[in-house]
């Protein structure tokens, strides 16, 4: 994708109305979407019963083809089973007949071509609209600049003639010319101002649409909290802030205990409900600059700026107890076993890499799960065990 070049606004020294900040919005398509980080829902008008029937059709087909049951792959095979996209069905059938394996690279290719491309097209439409808007403004500014140049020439000419002691007749002529040119310049300026006002409203709407796309690309569709992509960006910023301000920063990684059992016993829709429940309970426990994200599958990550290991441990224990205290209803409002979580906590060490920071929290989480689950483990416990 080609990156647009910011126009030279120095040619309009009299009124810098258009900013390069607006132009930079054109390049939003370069950063909004990364493959595999945004899930496009394929249908919203299905009933719960219909979606369950389709789920039971889609997952066995994916299993037969050894395709991992992640949301992106499910979107592809959902459209295949429902015949929503004839071209997609034709290409999958051809691939099946060829006998080739659906490797991760192949699955990614199908998802990008048939799902991400539509999102990129939407961004490109916005990009084109903003290009048209700015070009329109620049065109009117060109007209205004030319008009100002002509008006300046008239003023300079009249000024020279006034220095030569003009006759009353010439003076009346000069006054008439100045009145006419001033009026025309005023009308042209008013037209440009009206156009700029209209363009400002349009650019405001486009900016809002771009902002919404940006938010969607950083939000987990199932839970409504931030996604892994957003987490990757925020942890880089928070570790940098921790270095600069010499303040503590802690990370908690959370995993839902025995999550596979929920899926196997009650179905994937119930599993989704469990994930949403844990996300919402955690969301209510954080505040201020604390940051929560769905890290992947049934895992979550919680970043706690200005919080040391002990403070993070206390919050983690509160979250664990709150989640355990609730009960989720199964089909027919039948109570099911309690949902529990395991949590691993680490504190950032200055100048370490973010991967090391995450790995220590992961190791603490593994320690919690290896020692009975439904507990909080600190990185400090690893050296003691």
Question: Active-site residue 181, yes or no?
Answer: no
* Tokens linked to 69: 């049951």
Return the CA Rg of the chain.
31
CA 299, distance to chain mean position in Å, is 20
Return the structure tokens found at 344. 């691993």
Separation CA 343–CA 362 (nearest Å): 9
Return the number of other C-beta atoms located less than 10 Å from residue 118's C-beta: 10
Number of Cβ within a 10 Å radius of residue 296: 14
Cβ(81)–Cβ(61) below 8 Å: yes
Cα–Cα distance for residue pair 219/37, rounded to 1 Å = 9
Catalytic residue among 50, 298, 331, 381: 298
Q: How far is CA 85 from the centre of its chain?
A: 26
Tokens of 343: 């949590």
Alpha carbon separation from 51 to 48, 59, 261, 263, 299 (Å, rounded): 5, 12, 21, 15, 25
Residue 366 CA to its chain's centroid (Å):
30
Residues with catalytic annotation? 298
């Amino acid at each position: 994708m080609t990156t647009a070049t910011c126009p030279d606004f120095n040619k309009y020294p009299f009124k810098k109305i258009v900013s390069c900040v607006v132009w930079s919005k054109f390049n939003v398509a370069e950063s909004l979407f990364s493959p595999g980080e945004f899930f496009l829902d394929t249908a919203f008008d299905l009933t719960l019963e219909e979606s369950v029937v389709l789920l039971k059709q889609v997952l066995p087909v994916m299993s037969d083809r050894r395709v991992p049951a992640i949301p992106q792959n499910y979107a592809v095979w959902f459209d295949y089973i429902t015949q929503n996209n004839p071209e997609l069905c034709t290409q999958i059938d051809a691939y099946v007949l060829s006998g080739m394996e659906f490797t991760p690279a192949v699955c990614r290719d199908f998802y990008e071509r048939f799902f991400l491309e539509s999102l990129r097209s939407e961004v490109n439409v916005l990009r084109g609209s903003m290009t048209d808007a700015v070009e329109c403004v620049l065109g009117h500014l060109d007209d205004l600049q030319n008009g100002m140049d002509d008006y300046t020439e008239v003023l300079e000419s009249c000024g020279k003639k006034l220095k030569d002691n003009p006759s009353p007749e010439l003076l009346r002529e000069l006054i008439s010319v100045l009145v006419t040119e001033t009026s025309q310049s005023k009308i042209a300026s008013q037209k440009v101002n009206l156009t700029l006002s209209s363009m400002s409203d349009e650019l405001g709407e486009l900016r809002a649409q771009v902002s919404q796309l940006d938010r969607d690309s950083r939000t987990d569709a199932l839970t409504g909290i931030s996604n892994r992509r957003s987490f990757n960006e925020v942890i880089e910023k928070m570790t940098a802030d921790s270095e600069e301000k010499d303040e503590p920063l802690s990370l908690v990684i959370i995993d839902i205990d025995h999550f596979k059992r929920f899926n196997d016993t009650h179905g994937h829709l119930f599993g989704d409900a469990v994930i949403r429940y844990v996300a919402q309970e955690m969301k209510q426990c954080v505040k201020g600059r604390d940051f929560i994200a769905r890290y992947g599958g049934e895992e979550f990550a919680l970043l706690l700026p200005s919080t040391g290991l002990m403070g993070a441990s206390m919050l983690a224990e509160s979250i664990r107890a709150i989640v355990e205290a609730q009960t989720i209803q199964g089909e027919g409002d039948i109570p099911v076993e309690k949902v529990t979580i395991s949590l691993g906590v680490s504190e950032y060490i200055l100048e370490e890499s973010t991967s090391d920071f995450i790995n220590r929290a992961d190791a603490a989480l593994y320690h919690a799960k290896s020692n009975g689950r439904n507990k909080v483990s600190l990185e400090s416990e690893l050296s003691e065990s």
